Structure 1
Amino acid sequence: MKGSLARETVTNWLAHADIEINGSAACDMQVHNDVVFDAVMRDGSLGLGESYVAGDWDCPRLDQFFDRVIRAGLERQIPTARAVAAKLLAHLRNPQSEHRAWDIGRTHYDLGNALFVEMLGPSMAYSCGYWRDAQDLDQAQTAKLERICLKLGLQPGMRFLDIGCGWGSLMRHAARHHGVSCVGLTVSEQQARLGEQLCAGLDVRFALEDYRGHQGQYDRIASVGMFEHVGHRNYDAFFSAARRCLRPDGLMLLHTIGSLARVEHLDPWIDKYIFPNGMLPAMGHIADATIDRFVVEDLENFGAYYDPTLMAWEENFSKAWPTFAHAYPPHFERMWRYYLLSCAGAFRARNLQLWQWVLSPTGVIGGYVRP
């Protein structure tokens, strides 16, 4: 589909979400180059994102644009050959195999610690904050970390494993405020390097290790914002490893973004440019994989809180960008803002969820009570 027909199709498509081409509203699409229309018709969301990064279109409020597009269900209305191919490929290979598990560390988490320090703030927590009583990002992240520790019932002297520990935000909080001994697994060398500095003097150890090979026995296990990189072909391996490492009377907390439907691949643009080989689980995926391994003691959804978290990250990033722009290619700023704001819109539209599951091997005697 070429030229005026592509423009007419995309214009009518966006009208269902009350978005105008070159309109005056903050959510409207400002087109600088008509190639964007052919890109969308040819490549769907991948073409939309690539044409934005190339400067072919703008929008004063990308978060509002995506909130409207997703609420209207428009992202499902233009199937492309690339999308079909991605779905087929997900059936034929294991994108999150033990060998490929290190790809995400090199391509995303090793982008540079300075970037994440500025964007994430003092907590260095790269996952959804808990905003119920919070006034800013730091309060929301501290509340989230403490909520996890309370849900796990951490006590001094316990051994605690953090699968996908990032820069150690949860371990640092748990060791400092709850007196536990922590081991964290990461596939990012830069995360481990900075994390060790941030956790200096605490009973915290970082291990550059995939979850599948880890050995040890722990009283408590958490995995926060890492399960999105596991993939449906590996859910059994993930929960088998966790069950093997957890003491019979222990607890595990899984904190993960979730999908409303069973899908086997990420949005094509996010997969190509931000989180390669990722996959968002559906609730049924997790339920299936925990059968005969765990009792589901508690399940909480606070996905709406990812919207303010992402908006705060974008604000921090935009303010700090001039200080580290020299370290990145010219297109990086637009790419990164598109990532953060498109995801904020998706969570605002409630198309994406954030779940915290509390699991036990055989069931808490007398029942589990959420603190």
Structure 2
Amino acid sequence: MADIALRLTALAKELLGAPFPVRVRAWDGSESGPPDTPVLVVRHRRALRRLLWRPGELGLARAWVAGEIDVDGDLYAALELLAGFLWERGPDTDTAAVHPLLDPRMRTAARGLLQLGGALPPPAPPAEEVRRRTGPLHTKRRDKEAISHHYDVGNDFYELVLGPSMVYSCAYWDDAGTLEDAQRDKLDLVCRKLALAQGDRLLDVGCGWGSMAIHAAREHGAQVTGVTLSREQATYARKRIAEEGLTDRIEIRVQDYRDVMDGPYDAISSIGMAEHVGEVRYREYADKLLTLLRPGGRLLNHQIARRPEQDESAYEVDEFIDRYVFPDGELAPLGRTVTTLEAAGFEVRDVEAIREHYARTLRVWVANLEADWPRAVRLTSPGRARVWRLYMAACALAFERNRIGVNQILAVKTPPNGVSGVPLRARAWHG
């Protein structure tokens, strides 16, 4: 078992058909691989058993969350170097080239992993993992459980990551120098796209910790109803609203958007919420929001989008994200979202892509997490903190490399007379 790192890199080279792109440090202290790169630290042989029993991304994710593997050095650089091995696929790449552990050569790899990792039963998944669910997708009960998994992990933890703005969606980096300024500018941009005026009724779907509701009421005089499935978010939002003296203008409900019955509203904001809706419910989502708007009312749908597949039937939900981050979350291509909104009866008036803004936002969140790492671990768990660090860093790179995007879609419930109320001058809300 001497010089385990050398054996690991040799095994990886056999699988990849090329040298492993980062240096490896094994649990025996040995190192092997290219110098001057981040170091993949394999702290325990149990990580190899995870790969043996669950080859590919999920096995690696379980080892990461359990603390059995780590990166010494720049996490972004390590993910960039490992991207082709972990995630990237193109129209001319086959499964074996992208996921070499699924190649027939896995038989050889299995022998090597078995020899190094030991012939023991598969390790139990980390406690932070959501087990495989059964039954219909996106029922009200199942959605509530999924939202609780992601958002009810402690408001103090989210304060540490998100900063004072407490906005968990893409900021808008126009002239802003800080995250707080950029988040304020994003909220104000949404309000201006919705043309909010004094006394307008706004429904904020997926209201989070109340930041949009507070901004719309305080800066634009709106009467706001915010709905969330997270009790922790609702408690936090109500406290902030009371401190701002806005309880007469804002109501926060723990309520599924499908149960909102007190329309019509002048405007609806849905910021970073539609990713939870799912393909099977998206038309229902669009239909419901349309019925809640008055004629001429506006919807601002701020949503992450994935790139379309050449064969959409081949699309698979990311296992790490599904098991550890957003259970049952689904991303749709932008075109499908626009088509569904139009099919429901909306007139789509503007689409603004802000992909690069999210990459920058995520990098700031990761920096916040890393800067106060011991406290982040205390507030949640070592595994949960590791989940957030990996998923936010990987998402930052995904936005930068155009694997995913984020868009603000302005849609109007245009009345029969065709008067949309949208200004003739394109994007007047930008000034």
State the secondary structure of the residue aligned to 1:160: strand
Structural mapping, 1:253-292, within 5 Å: 253-261=300-308, 266-292=317-343
Contact 1:7/1:34, CA 8 A, preserved across alignment: no
Q: Is the 1:67–1:346 contact (alpha carbons within 8 Å) kept by the matching residues of 2?
A: no
Aligned length: 360
**Separation in structure 1 between the aligned mates of residue 318 and residue 393 of structure 2, nearest angstrom:** 14
Which residue pairs with 1:236 in the alignment?
283
Bigger shift: 56-65 or 237-246? Answer: 56-65
26-35 or 200-209: bigger deviation:
26-35
What per-residue deviation string (whole Å, max 9, x for no partner) do you get for residues 159-195 of structure 1? 0001101011111111110000000110000000000
TM-score normalised over the length of structure 1? 0.87
Seq. identity, % = 33
Alignment check: 8 A CA contact 2:225 2:252 kept:
yes
SS of the aligned residue for 1:99 comes to helix
Distance apart, 1:66 and its partner CA? 2.9
> Structure 1, unaligned stretches of length 5 or more?
82-88
* Secondary structure, aligned partner of 1:291: helix
SS of the residue aligned with 2:298? Answer: strand
Equivalent in the alignment of 2:367? 315
**Pick from 270, 274, 277: which aligns with 1:227?**
274
Aligned pair in 2 of structure 1 residues 358, 9: CA closer, same or farther (>3 Å)?
Answer: farther
1:128-187 CA deviation, whole Å, 9 max, x = no partner? 111122212111111111111111111111000011010111111111100000001100
Q: Structure 2 length normalisation: TM-score?
A: 0.76
Shift of 1:261: 2.1
Residue 173 (structure 1) aligns with: 215
**1:45–1:75 Cα contact (<8 Å) kept:** no
Partner Cα separation in structure 2 for residue 106 and residue 181 of structure 1: 27
* 2:12 counterpart residue number: 7
Q: Are the equivalent residues in 1 in contact too, given 2:342–2:348 (CA < 8 A)?
A: no
Letter in 2 for 1:112: G
Corresponding position of 2:255: 209
Equivalent residue of 1:261, what SS?
coil
| Cα-to-partner distance string for 1:252-295 (whole Å, 9 max, x where unaligned) | 10001110025665310111111111111211321231133111
Question: What's the counterpart of residue 191 of structure 2?
Answer: 149
Residues 127-142 of structure 1 aligned to structure 2 (within 5 Å): 127-142=169-184
Partner deviation per Cα, 1:50-74 (whole Å, 9 max, x = no partner): 2222333322222233344447884
CA deviation after TM superposition for structure 1 residue 9, in Å:
4.5
Q: Which amino acid is 1:245 matched to?
A: L
CA contact (8 A) 2:157 2:380 kept: no
Which entry has the higher C-alpha Rg, 1 or 2?
A: 2
- Aligned residues of 1:69 and 1:75 also touching (Cα < 8 A): no
Cα gap change, 1:160/1:329 in structure 2, threshold over 3 Å: closer, same or farther? same
2:294 to 203, 224, 247: 247
Q: Does residue 45 in structure 1 map to residue 41 in structure 2?
A: no
Q: Secondary structure at 1:66's aligned position in 2?
A: helix
SS at match of 1:167: coil
1:317-356 alignment, distance < 5 Å:
317-323=369-375, 325-356=377-408
Aligned mate of 2:354, from 302, 307, 311: 302
Q: 1:166 is paired with a residue of what secondary structure?
A: coil
Q: Distance in 2 between matches of 1:3 and 1:55?
A: 18
**SS of match in other structure, 1:300:** strand
